[in-house]
Amino acid sequence: MPGPDPLPEPLLPGFLRDPPHHLFFTGKGGVGKTSIACASAIVLAERGRRVLLVSTDPASNLDEMLGVALAEAPHPVPGVPGLEALNIDPDAAAEAYRTRVLAQMGPDAGETERASVREQLSGACTTEVAAFDAFAALLAGEADGHDHVVFDTAPTGHTLRLLSLPAAWTGFLEVNEAGASCLGPHSGLKTQEARFRRAMQALGDAATTAIVLVTRPDRAALAEAARSAGELAALGLANQRLVVNGLFRASRRDDAVARAIEESGRAALAAMPQALRVLPRDDLALRGFDMVGVPALKALFRPGIEPPAPAVPSAGGEGPRLPGLDVLVNELAARDHGLVMVMGKGGVGKTTVAAACAIGLVARGHSVHLSTTDPAAHLDMTLAGEMPGLRVDRIDPKAETERYVAKVLETRGRGLDAAGLALLREDLRSPCTEEVAVFHAFSRIVAAARSGFVVLDTAPTGHTLLLMDAAGAYHRQMTRDLEPRLGNGRIVTPLMRLRDPAHTQILLVTLPETTPVSEAAALQDDLRRAGIEPYAWVINRALTGSGTTDPLLCRRMLGEAAQIARVQAGLAQRAVLLPWQAEAPVGIAALRRLAA
């Protein structure tokens, strides 16, 4: 299909008119920032610019969206002259970082010392450090030769964590001149610190970078965008713009479903937080097709142009029938305890599904502990109330770090002199301490499900996989160090509990769209490689069966039917469907109805 002419100036979104060198797209998972980043890169290339598109998301789906296999080196995008793309591969970045750190040790370092440093550089925290290191290199000038660098970032919580790391390292290095940690030998980190400072300066310079916050006309997404705007500003990144993606206008006023979707969006925008109202804003209309493939991405900013519709797997596009969430909760409630772990891409509704499952279990006579590992947790907003038999909390990284530090000082600080205690305190200032503290809290929650029900709402996929990597590393260390002394069968690690179907049921939440289903399938593959088998898939917010006759929504239902059939055809052992709700399921009563 021949490409259209370059997008006319009047159709360009504001952030693409006189764009700076760097365009940095961020936002809550599921708001469409990858689609907008890709479409923006294509538009710039069509206008004669040399463009590099970069994903910093550990769960990146650029490959599928662009139809090309990407790696950590720039690769031309077929059909778009002038555009190259790459994924910052966390594992490859971590290995390159380890190699560079080891090279800084010099020829006098012995093998024992090198092995010790490599061990310290094997954790998930080092992977995050390495990912930011690769990102900082691009900001610091390693993408020279391109007119624009477009960054598609991980869901907000993960991105904010990465951006806040340089400040944590700076404070750590100011008081800790010697030793080593997951950052590497401290003596070799001053050069890194200078590069990270330059990268953050470039990111905060309005002449160099535009930070584009992407959101949906949805109260939760807008609240998350406002929180991100404040946290980015606190990091010195005030050069922000706002994109509201997916605005819908009903074509028929007698269609109750279409009217409800439109009115929900209007109400959310009317209540937009003040932090967002002051930002320059672009609105993008909801389109009737999945943003997968270059033709679809080229059509995003072009009203009236659409790629071919997907094949319809069944008459009318209604798709296969699936049971509801009530059937799944009934199966879970037949047990007397267990960990129900809800996982998936950001923005697919994990928090809603976790809360509905917890409330459904309480309604069936169980006491339930509902918690979350998500730094951008929305449990309180979703529940909007209390229920007897339901205990709600979250793993707060700051509180867990303080608790962990206090415990280490109490246990390892006994008998140390003033100098030794000062050295221990400095070591605990390492940014890696938070990773260890959060993992310990996660382990406690996993173990608590031995005697009751625990429902755990997890962070978006990439962040959760880092936590699972930590569980794997801990498991390997414990079995290597303790099993020879205690004997096989005496050790039970968190990973062993996650692998045990009698203890843990993993629910994968997705939307009936190509990219979320592909990402859920990739997450399932990652879990299976770790020896963990998902229990069920939950397909959330399906228009299928809603009765709408709106042309745009009906076109979206054709795509839904294809994806529902795809899940049933071989991805899920069992699957349930949660239909789209005219009103967001917020509050105990609404959540209880989802699982009733």
Catalytic residues: 30, 32-35, 57, 515
Strand partners, 24: 151, 211
Nearest one of 463, 444, 454, 471 to 531, comparing CA atoms: 471
Nearest one of 264, 316, 262, 267 to 547, comparing CA atoms: 316
Tell me the residue type at 63. Answer: D
Strand partners, 52: 84, 149
Contact between 88 and 62 under an 8 Å Cβ cutoff? The reply is: no
Nearest one of 505, 568, 579 to 536, comparing CA atoms: 505
Sign of CA dihedral 554, 511, 573, 154: positive
Contact between 159 and 56 under an 8 Å Cβ cutoff? The reply is: yes
Q: What's the residue count for the chain?
A: 596
Contact between 278 and 292 under an 8 Å Cβ cutoff? The reply is: no
Distance in angstroms (rounded) separating the CA atoms of residues 148 and 62 = 18
| 514-529 and 551-566 helices, crossing angle to 10° | 20
Distance in angstroms (rounded) separating the CA atoms of residues 121 and 124 = 9
Distance in angstroms (rounded) separating the CA atoms of residues 522 and 509 = 13
> What DSSP character marks residue 302?
S
Angle at CA 192, nearest 5°, toward 28 and 399?
A: 50
CA distance to 34, 68, 403, 485, 523, per residue, from 61 (Å): 8, 10, 37, 44, 12
The residue to which tokens 């605990």 are assigned: 428
| In 389-499, alpha helices (H) | 397-412, 418-428, 432-448, 461-481, 483-486, 494-499
Cβ atoms within 10 Å of 227's Cβ, excluding its own: 17
Cβ atoms within 10 Å of 45's Cβ, excluding its own: 22
Angle at CA 92, nearest 5°, toward 88 and 98?
A: 120
What 3-state DSSP class applies to 283? strand
The residue to which tokens 């400072």 are assigned: 197
Cβ atoms within 10 Å of 245's Cβ, excluding its own: 22
Sign of CA dihedral 414, 419, 425, 427: negative
Tell me the residue type at 160. Answer: L
